[in-house]
Structure 1
């Protein structure tokens, strides 16, 4: 009989630490692997860096196009830009022009 009581007493003593250990393990796992854990934080930081780089590239492209379009405004009509666009749209070239053919992977800007 005393052996049964001793086992019950020890089992009862082990329940609280086991529960607290399980809760600690659960929160520790969620702190690293959960939706808002350290791994997800690192992924969000990587995504943020990619988006900032994409934003900088888009801003540079927008600025380049803004400079090109400003040459076609009515108040400030750049003759070179107008001539370039007219030749591109009509697919014409001046006999004195040097024509350089670009491949499909080459970009002007």
Structure 2
């Protein structure tokens, strides 16, 4: 209620803008630096790409191992593959053979 004795205060006019600036500043800061902010999102994306490349390497290695197991399984036992694997594991060769090592085991 306005009366003729009402004093105009300058402080009262700044309260609402100050509260608004405080809220906007708080949410702006946390949208960039918070747990789900822009910087954290970049870190998550970088970590995702690293793990995706690691997954690709592990998948390729697993497929290679599955191929070897398939060749050594009972249904399609290949004598050459069995002989090659046994010689590599036991480090055995004949005197008239030339040995070339591959690092796929």
> Aligned residue for 2:33?
33
- In the alignment, structure 1 residue 48 sits paired with structure 2 residue 43: no
Deviations 1:60-102 (A, max 9, x none): 001111111111101111111110122133331122222357x
Hey, what's the Cα distance between the residues in 1 that align with 2:96 and 2:75? 30
2:68 maps to what in 1? 68
Q: For residues 80 and 28 of structure 2, what CA distance do their matches in structure 1 show? A: 66
For structure 2, list consecutive stretches of 5 or more residues without a partner in the other structure. Answer: 1-6
C-alpha distance in 2 between matches for 1:53 and 1:86: 32
- Report the TM-score when normalising by structure 1: 0.80
Structure 2 distance, partners of 1:18, 1:42, is 32
The unaligned stretches of length 5 or more in structure 1 are 102-106
Mapped to 2, the partners of 1:43 and 1:90 lie a distance apart of 46
Q: Give 3-state SS (helix, strand or coil) of 2:29's partner.
A: helix
Aligned pairs, number? 98
The alignment yields a C-alpha RMSD, in angstroms, of 1.7
CA distance in 1, matches of 2:21, 2:97: 80
TM-score using structure 2 length: 0.83
Structure number with the bigger relative contact order (C-alpha 8 A, sep ≥ 6) is 1
